[in-house]
A and B are shown apart, each in its own frame.
Chain A
Amino acid sequence: MAKIYLEHLHKNYGESVALNDLTLHIEDKELIVFLGPSGCGKTTSLNCIAGIEQPTSGRIHFDGQDVTDVPPHRRNIAMVFQSALLYPHLTARDNIRISLRISRISKQDIDRQVEEAAKLLDIHGLLDKLPFHMSGGERQRVATAKAIVRNPSVFLMDEPLASLDAAMREDLRAEIVVLQKKLGTTMVFVTHDQVEAMTMGDRIAIMQAGALQQVGTSDEIYSSPVNTFVAGFVGSPPMNFFQGAIEKRDEEHRFKHTKFHVKLPEAVVQRSEEPLEAKSVTLGVRPHHMTLSETPEEGALKGQIYAVERLGKETVVIVQYGGEVKFKAIVPPSFRQSMGDVVYVLPQAEHIYLFDSNTGRNLLCQKKQASASPARSSLSDLNG
């Protein structure tokens, strides 16, 4: 029901920069998740879309119309705030009803719509309770009802599940997605929880320090992160990084670290857009793409097992080398070595990532996705 176009948004609070040139297209009926660490500007961008805050510069368009100077209640949006914020002194019914006070419809219509929203979210029993007497999940449902009753063209959700326990969060996560698809309303969902982002979003926009890093589906973001920040932020346990340089010897490229070296397969080298030779790079490899062995192997990193975490379906091994440096590897549960044992570790060469050591940029383009930089990915959104 609404396309959103954020055009070069900047927001400064005095000296500090909250948003730095945010340009993004949000498609109609899309559920887009803003993901990033706290203070990355995701809530600020949501507040700008809502109209609660004004961007320092840049424009916001809904369906091609500039709404930058339109007050929040005329933008036809609904917002659910952190911890499912409700008016604490009003009952659920009055909380929902207050959403319709500016809609200038008759009292009967308001009551009917409140009933409908209550039915949709199964909160009939709660309508006459105060928020104080509800559980976190119930409050979340009421806050959602308060949002949908207005029949908005955009839903904005600011970490609505943050204060709930893990089981409740999983239930509501799915509920919100189902509801969003059922209503077909564009939704912007802000979270710092990568699992929430990966499971819910049609697309995910990853932000850091006020700047958009990458936009894409969970698969795209996981399999081809544009830089070390995205690579390290998405995935749990996070990706391991090793500083080193590329050497070329006898037509063979090798990644050389002070403690190990690994031969790069031709397929990997070919994915690089620029010559890799003699370049200083950061090698990234996800924990489950590490090979651990008891016997020395050529080029392998010699480390010591610092801790073993057995999760049943897999085992996380924390390996320490060169004093204090640690990294994690995921191995099958059959792994039998224990704390203090010496292991030889090698990254699986076909699964590695190479990043520019200075800029953090991903040097390997994926087979499918052509665009790698944030500016270009938003441009391609524009064209598509």
Chain B
Amino acid sequence: MAKKSIVTWIAVILVLLWTLVPLYWFAKMAFQTPAEISVFPPHLYPHQPTISGFFNVLGYPYTSRSGEVFIAAGQAGQVKMGLLNSLILASIVTCITTVVVVPLAYTFARLEFQHKNKLLFAILLSVALPPISIMIPFYILFVKIELAGTLLGLVLVTLTITIPFVAWMLLGFFRNLPPVERLARIDGFSRFGAFVKIVIPMAKVGIAVGAIISFLFAWNEYTFAQILVNGTPATTIPASISGFLFQHPEPEHLAASIIFSLIPPFIVAYLLQKHIAKMNIVEPLG
């Protein structure tokens, strides 16, 4: 047992290092001056920490105590728009995905109807397609119907990924719920009433996890955003961060905007973490 727990600890530490070291490196860069970042060998922590990057990336110049002036980032407008647009995009996508997916997954999981398996396979297929393969058709279509460069267009494209993916995930969850529908019939619920008043409250953990996943997906989605909205007023945060690549190098600004982009998903995950921990696909209720 003792041996096993040591192995477990080593595994946990390795996973944490894998995830946290790059994150730390960026966080460190966000608090450094451009001069310090270019030092070799690199400092393991900021020797003269500064928060100038955070101001600059939001469009404000910053004067340090020593009188040094850091001017606002050129990409600041895009970053600010990106943060706002991403928040709108992720919220809308999460709402629509949840509203569509919950009845969809429930229907497939608990009801019998014709061609069920074929339809299920079609859903799986739409998750299996690599996004890049439908990029060009979507782009041409959106240019023609004037959805390119709009948030609405991006919402629509993102939904084509989140809906089948989350539906597939929730399907197993609903399938493993105990068969309370018959009990609900005896207690005088209609089919729809049982779904709304019994099944949804019962499945709230799974639904919450599905919502988190669609929020995070919409927030992080890069491929479609890069093609459809980058450089327009509808840009999202992943697309606007990528804008740093083609400019005079400002690594502290890049790092600061990445830190900003981590905040909302972090809050969402933190608020719903107890549900994530409870989520168990095989046995949904423990």
Residues of A near any B CB (own CB < 8 A): 47, 50-52, 71-73, 77-79, 81, 85-89, 98-99, 101-102, 132
Contact = CB atoms under 8 A, between A and B. Distances in A.
Interface stretch (B20-28, B177-185, B255-263): B177-185
A88 B186 contact: no
A86 B180 CA distance: 7
Interface of B: 177-180, 182-183, 185-188, 198, 201-202, 204, 285-286
Contact of B185 (A73, A87, A89): A73
Contacts of A98: 187
B186 A73 contact: yes
Nearest to B189: A73
Contacts of A101: 187-188
Given A50-B185, A77-B186, 11 more contacts: A47-B182, A52-B182, A52-B186, A79-B182, A81-B179, A85-B183, A87-B198, A87-B202, A89-B204, A101-B188, A132-B285
Contacts of B187: 73, 98-99, 101-102
Most buried by A among B186, B198, B201, B202: B186
Contacts of B186: 50, 52, 72-73, 77-79
Contacts of B198: 87
Nearest to A86: B183
Nearest to B112: A13
Contacts of A52: 182, 185-186
Given A73-B188, A101-B188, A102-B188, A87 B285 contact: no
A269 B266 CA distance: 86
Nearest to A147: B186
Contacts of A71: 185, 188
Contacts of A77: 186
A87 B180 contact: yes
A50 B188 CA distance: 12
B64 to A, nearest CB: 55
Contacts of B188: 71-73, 101-102
Contacts of B286: 132
Contacts of B204: 89
B4 to A, nearest CB: 28
A73 B202 CA distance: 22
A151 to B, nearest CB: 14
A99 B182 CA distance: 13
